[in-house]
Structure 1
Amino acid sequence: MKEISVLIVEDDPMVQEINKRFIAKLKDFRVLAVASHGEEALKMLETVKPQLILLDIFMPRVDGLTTLKEIRKRGVNSDVILITADKSVQTVQEAIRYGVVDYIIKPFKFDRFKEALQNYKRFKEKLQETEVFQQKDLDSILYASQEQEENPLPKGLNQVTLDSILNYLRQHTEYLTSMELAQAVGIARVTARRYMEYLAEKRIVDIELEYGSVGRPIHKFRISEDQNSISTD
């Protein structure tokens, strides 16, 4: 994929530098230009054609929302991510109406910045790969952040299996081995052990060691007594 060109529109020199530094860390992005206010940005857009605009709201001369509206009025073929300290519902609603692809609230961390740009990059790649979208493809792009937030499970674990295990544990409060749990839920013993270790790490289940005459102790698990409602966050 070709590099994605970015126009930074930000009046604070320090934030300009932060944005440039963050972009430099990301593959396939480059800063095309930097504007200190909306008026300057609109002037630049007469000659430069960025694919993505990182736009602040609180700026002198022409603010970000006015700039965004003018960008749409002119039919500029650039996508916009707002990066601003403005948290008002009215501003967020208006920004969405004018088609921003993301909204980052200051102060922000690199991880959130990276997530926004990578989601955008993935969307652009999908546009190049296909002529017709399937619903699942759109969902994977539009709701990627939400899925990551709602399903923060380690690689190899999934929410459906986890829910099945938790439901069984709620109904059977005695200590169970990984083999017993695996047979009850219909998964491999090794898989059951991984889920139980994850739940133990989250302190959602308790562990009991059963010692025999020889060999290693057997690990047995049960739902913790204080887990009236289970959360895997």
Structure 2
Amino acid sequence: MINVLVVEDDPMVAQLHEHYLSQIKGYQLCGIANNGDMALKLLAQKKYDLLILDIFMPTMDGLQLLAKIRDNAYDVDVIIVSAANDKDKIKQALRLGAVDYIIKPFEFERFNLALNNYLKRYHIVEDQNIIEQSDLDQTIIRQEDQVLVSLPKGLDKNTLGTVWECIRSIDGMFTTEEVAVKVGISRVSIRKYLEFLKSLHLLKLDLHRGSVGRPVYKYLCLDKHSDVLKAYIQ
């Protein structure tokens, strides 16, 4: 299990990281720091395998923190997740040893790709004393078709394909109950699939007033022809 420390000053983004991490096998969130000083204290107290690090933070920004992490020789890998998209910051982060760089705003698919690629590399390095070039190439040469994606826990690729085809057959907005009836599984299970599709920006969720004033949540498919799901259901 990969122990993760999230360093992010925006509580909403930190919560998003926590939600995404809970959907990816092999990871557990062990701490959240909202500034660099807190992150350094946590690193001194406990061993973490991976930091998910923002750059824009008050007092000590992420690059300054990353430099201190290297100066202190903390044995931890770093993935940058930041709105900083200028080349100087990206070059500095990579020179300081960041293993990946994700630019905000980002989609779950990109986050998932980064963490699955990291997990593969982690196990190749940790589990083998002698490492073959071909093993390294699978993670260091990061061709798109070499990076495998995985579904969140509890989701099945065949069911996901069925749910998606059902949604594509619906004109306009729909409820969880409507899809549950068509697919033939429980509303609780269907909701998990719909929330996953929403995280990929394939669906949006709106609140509507029912005939007697009761609020009703309805989904709308944003792109019935998207190929985003191919990596998950192939």
Q: Same fold (TM over 0.5)?
A: yes
Decide which of 42, 62, 66 is 2:60's aligned counterpart: 62
What's the RMSD between the two structures over aligned residues? 1.5
- Residue-by-residue CA offset, 1:89-125 (whole Å, 9 max, x unaligned): 1111111111111000000010100111111110111
Aligned to 1:148: 145
Poorly superposed stretches of 4+, deviation over 2 Å: 146-149
Aligned to 2:75: 77
**Equivalences for residues 1-233 of structure 1 within 5 A:** 3-144=1-142, 146-148=143-145
Measure how far apart 1:147 and its partner are: 3.7
**Distance between the aligned counterparts of 1:45 and 1:129, measured in 2?**
24
SS of residue matched to 2:45: coil
* Residue identity opposite 2:145 in structure 1: Q
TM-score relative to the length of structure 2: 0.61
Bigger Rg, structure 1 or 2: 1
SS of residue matched to 1:113: helix
**Distance between the aligned counterparts of 2:125 and 2:15, measured in 1?**
30
**Distance between the aligned counterparts of 1:51 and 1:102, measured in 2?**
14
**Distance between the aligned counterparts of 2:118 and 2:4, measured in 1?**
12
Cα 1:129–1:44 change in 2 (3 A) is: closer
* Residue identity opposite 1:52 in structure 2: L
**Distance between the aligned counterparts of 2:2 and 2:55, measured in 1?**
22
**Distance between the aligned counterparts of 1:48 and 1:9, measured in 2?**
15
Identity %: 40
Note the residue ranges of structure 1 that are not aligned, 5 or more in a row.
150-233
Count of aligned pairs between the two proteins: 147
